[in-house]
Amino acid sequence: MPEFTLPDQARLYYDDIGNGSPLLLLHGGLGRYVDWFHSQIETFSSHRLIIPDRRGYGRSTPLDHLPVDYHVRNADDMLMLLDSLSVADPILWGHSDGAIIAAWMAIKYPRRVQALILEGTHLWRRKTDSLETFEFGVSEPEGFLPERAIQRLQEGHGKNWNQVVANWGNVWLRLNEMDGNLYDGRLPEIQTPTLVMHGIHDPHSSVTEIKTLTAQIPDAQLYLFQEGGHSPHSERANRDECNQLVREFICQHNTR
């Protein structure tokens, strides 16, 4: 697994697979080892797949906390990683926290994003329906996570897995103390074609919230998975449909 050292000496580890048009896959709040991109690695093998562990995750530089503006900071990290790989304008596919980061990349660096796929994303800082989940993440992750999820967290983050979950829970508890949306009202600045995918049974963001988000992005389309949860790309009932939807979107907007 190659690594890239950021200007502040933080290290990012990543996978770089294939030789086609670039597709950057950005993981959610518990890391890519819980909601795996295994199906996408096979389905999109004609692309160059870049799959990083953000700082604080996997083998990348560990953190003892996440700052409340970590989505924006991670967007800058990802741009520097792309620069190091001489990748000019990839398609971005972000899941959950990764979707927020992808949107920030499109806001801050519009000429560097060819198309945008936002899955299981969020609009509001306050997530009152998820507070119990965040609190458990801080105090008792073993008690609320399924055994298989814990095994994957251990595989991905090693002995640091509890810290990863606690960081995620803590930062969202702090975000819940703030008003407004996660993009500071800048979603209308996104000019790239955008596909928003969302499961109607997602426990973290309601359909109403996601419809509001989609309406703020000028060139966005929304697809709802009727049986979907938070991670359609890795859910057995939805992943084939999800991959087909993304394939069609990429074919429509890939200029390479």
Say how many C-beta atoms besides its own lie within 10 A of residue 55's C-beta. 21
Asked if pLDDT for residue 254 goes beyond 80, the answer is: no
Residue 56 in tokens: 């604080």
Q: What CATH number belongs to 3-124+182-253?
A: 3.40.50.1820
249-89-187 Cα angle (round to 5): 70
pTM listed for this prediction: 0.97
10 Å CB burial of residue 133 (0-12, 13-18, 19+) is middle
Question: Is 56 a residue whose pLDDT tops 90?
Answer: yes
Q: What is the mean pLDDT of residues 232-236?
A: 96
Q: What average pLDDT does the segment 68-82 reach? A: 98
Which band of pLDDT confidence, cut at 50, 70 and 90, is reported for residue 255? low
Domain boundaries along the sequence of the chain:
3-124+182-253
225 pLDDT higher than 70: yes
- What stretch of H or E contains 118? strand 115-119
pLDDT > 90 in the chain, percent? 92
CB neighbour burial string for 140-164, b if at least 16 within 10 angstroms, e if fewer:
ebeeebeeebbebbeebbeebbbbb
- Could you report the per-residue pLDDT of 109-157, keeping only the tens digit for each? 999 999 999 999 999 999 999 999 999 989 988 888 889 899 999 999 9
The rounded mean pLDDT for the chain is: 96
Percent of the chain with pLDDT over 70: 99
Would the pLDDT of 243 be above 90?
A: yes
